[in-house]
Each structure stands twice: as structure tokens, then as C-alpha cells.
A and B are shown apart, each in its own frame.
Chain A
Amino acid sequence: GAGVSQSPSNKVTEKGKDVELRCDPISGHTALYWYRQSLGQGLEFLIYFQGNSAPDKSGLPSDRFSAERTGGSVSTLTIQRTQQEDSAVYLCASSLSPMRSETQYFGPGTRLLVL
């Protein structure tokens, strides 16, 4: 079956522009997670969804970052007025349920470069 997919795979943008990153979770997975991996740093949790609601958005680094999920499926992470420090790989993961015993399945990531 299909795994988690993310688009675009690569995105180059100019400082100050808005970008949208998309995640398609595994069908039937109710929990969805966004992480960021910056060069030389570990993965950083951004936000998690249970269905269409986000019980934990504590990792979003600033109000320029927002995310939504519709239909309990696709999620979009939006970064407004991008800055160079936003350059990173953005990873999406999904799990069957938000139970912490559930394995998270990761997509290939979107590599964002802000010039």
C-alpha cells in the first residue's frame, strides 16, 4: 500500500514569500505529525493532529507557521514571510491512532531552501 507522501520534494523560495507544504498520510491513519530537521540539528516536533484538530501545536516556532488538516486526511503546513532560518527538511508522519505505542510512519520530506 501507499506510504506517507509529501509534496513538493524540494522547494526553493525567496525570503519573504509564503510557502505551502503538503502531506498525504497513510489511508486510515487518524494521527498526523509535522517535524523539522535543520542542518546539524536533530528533528524538532512542530505539531500533531488527531483527526482535523491539533491538540498539540507547541512546537510551531512562530506565528508565521500554521497548519491545517481537512477531512481527517491531507495536511498543509504554511510558512508565511519565509526567513533564511526556515531552511530545513520538513517531515510528515502518520500513525494509526495517537496512542503513544503506535509506530509513526514518515514521508520522504520536503527540502525547503529560503534564499
Chain B
Amino acid sequence: KQEVTQIPAALSVPEGENLVLNCSFTDSAIYNLQWFRQDPGKGLTSLLLIQSSQREQTSGRLNASLDKSSGRSTLYIAASQPGDSATYLCAVSLLAGNNRKLIWGLGTSLAVNP
């Protein structure tokens, strides 16, 4: 059974710091991995999607890496800003059959302090 774990559960940093959020999954048979951001009352926003054949994806100050063999992904946020404060969720899409479900981690709650 696929399980997704995110560390740390919560993180508080001063503005301007570079930071890394971690995601691990137990079954390497994934189709892709996504990072989402969740803001209160606003649902989820997809940040980056990494296909299983890819090693990393970049968007602005965000860089996500994927090491499928070791079951790990990291989300790197450069020069953090107060507006980055949110919960960051990692989700994997399973490989098998007609399955379209995403398996989610519990998230990392990030606070960037001005």
C-alpha cells in the first residue's frame, strides 16, 4: 500500500531564507508526483508536476526534485517571502491500471515571518 510522508510537519523561517520540504513514498511504482499549495478557504493550487521519468521541475523560485528509486522528493523554495506561507502538500499518482487517485501526504505548514 502506497504511503506518503512529509517532513517537517511545520516550519517557521525568517523572510529571505532558502528552505527544503521533504516528501517520501513507500512504493516506487508511481506515474508522477505533484506538489500543491493549500491556502485557507482557497482550495489547492498545483505548483509542480514531475513525471516518473523526470528528475526535477522548476517554476520561478520553486524547484522540485524526484528520486524514484529511493522514494523521495524535495521542494526547494528560494528566497522565501511572507506570501509563501501556506500548507504544502505532496501527492503521488499510482501507476497501475485505471487508477486515477492521488495519494497524499499530510503536508508541511510553512510560516515565513517578515
6 of the cross-chain contacts (CB-CB < 8 Å) are A33-B100, A43-B91, A48-B101, A91-B43, A100-B93, A106-B43
Whether A106 contacts B45 by the Cβ 8 Å rule is yes
Q: Which A-chain residue is minimally distant from B101 (CB atoms)?
A: A45
Residue of B nearest to A98 (CB): B100
B89 within 8 A of A: yes
Give how many A-B residue pairs fall within 8 Å (CB-CB).
Answer: 57
On chain A, the residues within 8 Å of B51 by CB distance are 101
Residues of A within 8 A of B31 (CB): 100-101
Contact A56 B91 (CB under 8 A): no
B43: chain A residues within 8 A (beta carbon): 4, 91, 106-109
Q: Do B42 and A108 touch (CB < 8 A)?
A: yes
Query: How many B residues touch the partner, as a band?
Result: 20 to 34
Interchain CB contact (< 8 A) of B100 among A31, A42, A106: A31
Residues of B within 8 A of A (CB): 4, 31-32, 34, 36, 41-46, 49, 51, 89, 91, 93, 98-107
Min distance, Cβ A6 to any Cβ of chain B, angstroms: 8
Instruction: Compute how far the CA of A40 lies from the CA of B9 in the bound complex, rounded to whole angstroms.
Output: 11
Number of interface residues, chain A, beta carbon within 8 A:
27
B106, A48: Cβ atoms closer than 8 Å = no
- Name which residue of chain B comes closest to A3, CB basis: B43
Not counting A55-B100, A101-B31, A103-B49, a sample of 19 additional A-B residue pairs whose C-beta atoms are within 8 angstroms of each other reads: A4-B43, A42-B104, A42-B105, A42-B106, A43-B102, A55-B98, A56-B98, A58-B101, A98-B100, A100-B32, A101-B51, A103-B46, A104-B102, A105-B46, A106-B36, A106-B44, A107-B43, A108-B43, A109-B43
Instruction: Check A41 for interface membership: any CB of B closer than 8 A.
Output: yes
Residues of A within 8 A of B98 (CB): 55-56
A61 at the interface (CB under 8 A from B): no
Does A59 make an interface contact (CB < 8 A)?
Answer: yes
A48 vs B44: C-alpha distance when bound (angstroms): 17
Give Cα A45 to B100, complex, Å: 9
Within the complex, the shortest CB–CB distance from A1 to chain B, in Å, comes to 15
